[in-house]
């Protein structure tokens, strides 16, 4: 059978429905999965070996929506799943032919209207507090006539991104069983707001260089492991200062000596190379994002930093995760102690 799934948002959102994709293929290896994706997640989707073909919604312009619709009409889809809850995806799906359509929507009035014509309509929002994302995926799989298993939440292979990590100087060190600390723009509020407007209401967790270095030393000391730092897509003030006090091994690899400990900083690594590093780590510390799902897939211990007033939202997303613990964004002097306490 041919399955079409709409996921026109970000990588983390795509990873949320990856267990469903694996279940579709596990139930019948001849099943083919087609994804309608976005410019934000296509680089990841096209590398997913479980996906037959991708279609890209270039923008929200009406002309691009019509272009996508006519491209989709050239194909036959036995089952269509709207996973991104977008009005544009719902509208396109209404005019496509299919034996089975599954709608995930965010508004109650949409559910009432769609239920007049379709059986499989599922409400997926934070007001629906009794249903986690895993519950929603189970509802979807049941509607599709397939079974979803716990093994489907481990959809990435161990060395899937091995070839993506090419920093030879780092590989020569043969560091294993390390702590991976992902310090991206979410740790510095001004940078975070550049990517996510709603972050302006989030708790500030910025810190100074000496406090951060003291924390890194304690992190390495308490775990008795090497600490590796990776970066995001925006240059951060703190890591720029940290590089100035470090030994440059190459343009994207730095060694920082703090008392008796050596800390390593990797910059400008791709999403895929960081994913590989996560798979080799024993502990992953990060503000919540797509990498949280990567770490969960690889059964890595997670300390996930979230905003306190979004506990319900993240709780629904992460309920199925094992070896997972969340900590609230807070003044770094407080947050750092919480991290050390929960190692």
Shared domain for 218 and 70, answered yes or no, is no
- The residue range of the domain holding 258 is 162-341
Does one domain contain both 120 and 145?
A: yes
Q: Read off the DSSP letter of residue 199.
A: G
Listed residues 125, 153, 181: the one ending a domain: 153
Q: Are residues 241 and 93 in the same domain?
A: no
| H or E element that contains 16 | helix 11-27
* Mean pLDDT on 318-322: 95
Same domain for 96 and 115?
yes
Q: Are 251 and 210 in contact (CB under 8 A)?
A: no
Identify whether residues 201 and 303 lie together within a single domain.
yes
Predicted pLDDT of residue 58: 76
The count of structural domains within the chain is: 2
Burial of 67 (0-12, 13-18, 19+ CB in 10 A): middle
Query: d(Cα 271, Cα 244) in Å, to the nearest integer?
Result: 25
Tell whether 128 and 204 lie within a shared domain: no
Instruction: Tell me the per-residue pLDDT of 228-281, one tens digit each, with 9 for 90 and over.
Output: 999 998 899 999 999 999 999 999 999 999 999 999 999 999 999 999 999 999
Query: What is the distance between the alpha carbons of residues 78 and 142, in angstroms, rounded to a whole number?
Result: 15
Looking at residue 185, what DSSP letter applies? G
Q: Is the pLDDT score of 215 beyond 90? A: yes
Whether 60 has a pLDDT exceeding 90, the answer reads: no
Above 90 in pLDDT, residue 183?
Answer: yes
d(CA 279, CA 298): 6
Give me the percent of the chain exceeding a pLDDT of 70.
Answer: 100
Residue 57: CB atoms within 10 A of its CB come to 22
DSSP 8-state class, residue 203: P
Model confidence band, residue 293 (pLDDT cutoffs 50, 70, 90): very high
Distances in Å between the alpha carbon of 322 and those of 31, 235, 296, 299, 300? 29, 32, 7, 7, 9
Q: Residue 93: which pLDDT band, with cuts at 50, 70 and 90?
A: very high
The CA distance from 159 to 165, in Å, is 11
Same domain for 105 and 166, yes or no, is: no
Which class for 212: exposed (0-12), middle (13-18), buried (19 or more C-beta within 10 A)?
buried
Per-residue pLDDT band for 197 (boundaries 50, 70, 90) equals confident
State residue 129's pLDDT score. 81
DSSP string covering 131-162: --HHHHHHHHHHHHT----GGGG--S-TTTTG
Half-sphere exposure of 145 (CA within 13 A, CB side): 10
From 153, 183, 201, the end of a domain falls on 153
Q: Encoding tokens for residue 290?
A: 């797509």
Q: Per-residue confidence at 91, pLDDT binned at 50, 70, 90?
A: very high
Asked whether 314 and 210 are in contact (CB, 8 A), the reply is: no
In a shared domain, residues 179 and 328 = yes
The pLDDT, as a whole number, for residue 128 is 80
Three-state DSSP state, 49: coil
Residues 123 and 182 in one domain: no
Domain termination residue (choose one: 153, 182, 213): 153
Stated pTM of the model = 0.95
Closest to 252 measured CA to CA, from 267, 265, 262:
267
Asked if 96 and 78 touch (Cβ cutoff 8 Å), the reply is no
Say yes or no: 127 and 173 in one domain: no
- Please give the helix or strand (H or E) that residue 60 lies within, else none: none
Average pLDDT over the chain, rounded to an integer: 96
Residue 38, domain CATH:
3.40.50.2000
């Amino acid at each position: 059978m041919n399955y079409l799934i709409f996921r026109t948002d970000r990588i983390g959102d795509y990873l949320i429905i990856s267990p469903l994709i694996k279940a579709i293929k596990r139930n019948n290896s001849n099943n083919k999965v087609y994804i309608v994706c976005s410019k934000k997640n296509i680089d990841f989707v096209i590398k997913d070996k479980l996906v037959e073909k991708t279609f890209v919604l270039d923008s929200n312009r009406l002309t691009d929506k019509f272009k996508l619709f006519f491209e989709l009409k050239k194909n036959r889809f036995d089952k269509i799943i709207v996973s991104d809850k977008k009005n544009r995806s719902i509208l396109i799906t209404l005019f496509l032919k299919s034996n089975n359509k599954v709608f995930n929507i965010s508004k109650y009035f949409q559910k009432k209207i769609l239920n007049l014509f379709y059986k499989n309509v599922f409400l997926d929002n934070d007001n629906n507090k009794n249903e986690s994302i895993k519950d929603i995926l189970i509802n979807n799989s049941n509607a599709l006539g397939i079974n979803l298993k716990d093994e489907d939440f481990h959809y990435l292979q161990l060395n899937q991104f091995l070839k993506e990590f090419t920093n030879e100087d780092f590989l020569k060190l043969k560091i294993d069983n390390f702590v991976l600390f992902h310090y991206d723009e979410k740790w510095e509020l001004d940078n975070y707001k550049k990517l996510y407007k709603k972050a302006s209401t989030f708790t500030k967790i910025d810190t100074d260089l000496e406090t951060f270095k003291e924390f890194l030393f304690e992190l390495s000391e308490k775990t008795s492991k090497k600490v590796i730092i990776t970066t995001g897509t925006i240059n951060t003030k703190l890591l720029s200062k940290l590089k100035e006090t470090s030994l440059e091994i190459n343009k994207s690899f730095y060694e920082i000596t703090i008392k008796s400990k050596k800390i390593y900083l990797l910059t400008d690594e791709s999403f895929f190379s960081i994913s590989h590093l996560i798979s080799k780590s024993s502990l992953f510390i990060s503000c919540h994002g797509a990498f949280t799902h990567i770490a969960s897939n690889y059964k890595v211990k997670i300390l996930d930093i979230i905003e306190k007033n979004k506990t319900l939202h993240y709780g629904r997303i992460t309920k199925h995760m094992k070896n997972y613990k969340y900590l609230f964004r807070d003044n770094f002097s407080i947050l750092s102690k919480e991290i050390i306490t929960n190692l």
